[in-house]
Amino acid sequence: MVGEADTTGNNDGNWTVTFAPAQLNTNMPFIEVYKVIIHGATGSSMDWFVEQNQWETTVAADNNAWDPQQPLTVRAGQTMYMYWSNPVTDNNPPTVTIWLRYDQDIEVNQRAAIT
């Protein structure tokens, strides 16, 4: 996903990468973000939110990866936002690639997998 000028009002004038439910494109009630690769402007940082709740801060958001022991759980209908520190006037939009999976041991995910 490529960053765009912020439209949330939470990161005015800077780059924001948004993963809305349409981009996440899953029918599972709970999904896990288990791998992320980010590229942004040299010296940039990035704050990562699910809805209005901050999940992570990445100090080196120019070229980094995230592979946690505990993945981020996202509920159906939630949106993830990655707010970069650098302004859109730098003409250097960040990019984010994420990998998703679901926990088949969660009962509601089991039911969703059957339908």
C-alpha 72: how far from chain center: 10
State pTM to two decimals: 0.89
C-alpha 25: how far from chain center: 13
pLDDT, tens digit (0-9, with 9 covering 90-100), for 67-111: 778 889 999 999 999 999 999 999 999 999 999 988 787 787 777
Q: What is the DSSP string of 70-102?
A: SPEEEETT--EEEEEEEEGGG----EEEEEEE-
Mean pLDDT of the chain: 91
Question: Is the pLDDT confidence value at 65 over 90?
Answer: no
User: Is the CATH code 2.60.120 the one for domain 4-106?
Assistant: yes
C-alpha distance across the termini of the chain, in Å: 29
